[in-house]
Amino acid sequence: MSELRELYQEVILDHNKRPRNFRTLPEADHMAEGHNPLCGDNVTVYLQMDGDVIRDISFQGSGCAISKASASLMTTELKGKTQAEAEVIFQRFHDLVTGGMDDVQEDDETLGKLAVFSGVREYPARVKCASLAWHTLHSALDEGGRTVTTEEGDEAASGA
Ligand code: ZN
């Protein structure tokens, strides 16, 4: 298990250092912003849809290693997926980080590399970091873009 954990850490550190799809998307037809005031993470998710398929996906923002790596891995896993598939993966990822799933297989086909976030459930404060990009994606798909925050009603700290 500890070997697996080291591998997981490597993947997270790598995606934090060299985030994939870390750019704006001029052709985006959906976007949303997300904030996690608890940790100071900010993310903007851009989507270019082709009917029901995520043709391209990118993100920008700043935050801790977990939030950045999570957004980066999300973009690599979701490119080319349908909206319905993305929702399934989101649900499964949510179960993974909140501990709703007891035993995640390393090669879980639905999650792919996202399984590296299984360790996050042991750190409740990090769950919001890991899920921020996903909630933001959900908002972009659902409502075509509004600002989401992991905390209710407190936008006062933004811009500081
Ligand atoms: Zn964070």
117 to each of 13, 30, 147, how far by Cα in Å? 12, 26, 24
CA 103 to ligand 1 center in whole angstroms: 24
pTM equals 0.85
List, for the chain, all residue ranges whose pLDDT scores fall below the cut of 50.
153-160
pLDDT at res. 151: 64
Are 122 and 29 contacting, i.e. CB atoms less than 8 angstroms apart? no
Question: Does residue 156 lie in a domain region?
Answer: no
Q: Which domain does 27 fall in, by range?
A: 2-149
pLDDT at res. 101: 65
CA 63 to ligand 1 center in whole angstroms: 6
CA 136 to ligand 1 center in whole angstroms: 14
pLDDT at res. 23: 97
CB atoms under 10 Å from CB of 80, counted, come to: 12
pLDDT at res. 68: 97
Residue 154: what residue type?
A: D
What CATH number has the domain bearing residue 10? Answer: 3.90.1010.10
pLDDT at res. 154: 43
Q: Which of 121, 110, 101, 85 is nearest to 8 (CA)?
A: 121
Are 90 and 134 contacting, i.e. CB atoms less than 8 angstroms apart? yes
pLDDT at res. 105: 59
The domain tally of the chain equals 1
CA 37 to ligand 1 center in whole angstroms: 9
